[in-house]
């Protein structure tokens, strides 16, 4: 069953937050990464509307998305996968640093709000396979997705899109092998396919590298009846300098 999470109604000015050590500079602040570090390490970047790679001024889509567009229509990213976000996301993903989830979701929410992408009707996380979920104890994509659903006032569901085949971690594979690695990895819950009919879906993940995972998941969602798929990621891996 889809569920809708009511957004907090307490004014921001009245929401007291205890001091916190910045995860980057270790100075005291009011959030997990302090404002000076956010200003320094999270600059606004002009991105390809389709895949969120950095593009020059006046360009709306990178060459790859023009010649071979992915199944998803739009990608929104909070920052590049570079220092300090790369280390923080590794901790978030593999070391149960769930204290970073509110910050990452808030930064991604800011990136979503700053763009003109259509509002989704349903937010889904990229799923983990059962074995990997048992090993890790949580799905980092769901930790972001459920918080973004609250902020955006959308329905969210962690069990509609399934991972039916565990595959080697994408991070260990060359870019050319990543699409084949995730082919056939996803399916829609057979008894819930009707829940996707006509839905505008936001697919949430922590990092996009080549876009192969998001492309495969989006293809499955569209085949099951979704009207459109956009992708929300905390970080986008930059293109190689010689690409």
Contact 85, 235 (CB under 8 A): yes
- Residue 200 in tokens: 């505008």
**CB count in 10 Å sphere of residue 142:** 22
In the prediction, which pLDDT does 181 show?
65
**Which pLDDT does position 30 carry in this prediction?**
81
pLDDT at 16: 52
pLDDT tens for residues 145-177?
Answer: 999 999 999 999 999 999 997 765 545 555 555
The contacts found for 46-51 with CB under 8 angstroms, 24 or more apart, are 47/75, 47/77, 47/236, 48/75, 49/74, 49/75, 50/74, 50/75, 51/75, 51/208, 51/211, 51/236
Q: Which residues of the chain have a pLDDT value below 50?
A: 6-7, 10, 13-14, 170, 242-243
The pLDDT value given to residue 183: 78
Sequence-distant (≥ 6) Cβ neighbours of residue 166 within 8 angstroms: 129, 130, 131, 132
For residue 4, the number of C-alpha atoms closer than 13 Å in the C-beta half-sphere is 8
Q: What is the pLDDT of residue 20?
A: 83
Say what the pTM is.
0.87
At residue 55, the pLDDT reads: 97
At which residue do the structure tokens 């991972």 appear?
163
């Amino acid at each position: 069953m889809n569920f809708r999470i009511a957004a907090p109604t307490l004014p921001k000015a009245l929401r007291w937050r205890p001091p916190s050590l910045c995860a980057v500079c270790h100075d005291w602040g009011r959030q997990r990464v302090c404002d000076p570090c956010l200003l320094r390490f999270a600059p606004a970047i002009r991105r390809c509307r389709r895949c969120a790679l950095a593009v020059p001024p006046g360009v709306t889509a990178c060459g790859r998305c023009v010649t071979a567009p992915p199944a998803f229509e739009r990608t929104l990213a909070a920052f590049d996968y570079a220092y300090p976000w790369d280390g923080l996301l590794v901790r978030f993903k593999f070391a149960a640093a769930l204290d970073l989830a509110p910050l990452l979701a808030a930064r991604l929410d800011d990136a979503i709000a700053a763009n003109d992408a259509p509002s989704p009707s349903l937010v889904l996380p990229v799923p983990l396979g059962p074995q990997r979920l048992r090993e890790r104890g949580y799905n980092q994509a769901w930790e972001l997705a459920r918080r973004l659903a609250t902020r955006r006032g959308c329905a969210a569901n962690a069990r509609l899109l399934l991972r039916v085949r565990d595959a080697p971690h994408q991070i260990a594979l060359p870019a050319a092998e990543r699409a084949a690695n995730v082919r056939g990895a996803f399916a829609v819950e057979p008894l819930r396919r009707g829940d996707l009919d006509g839905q505008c879906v936001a697919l949430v993940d922590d990092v996009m590298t080549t876009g192969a995972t998001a492309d495969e998941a989006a293809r499955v969602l569209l085949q099951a009846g979704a009207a459109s798929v956009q992708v929300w990621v905390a970080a986008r891996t930059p293109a190689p300098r010689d690409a």
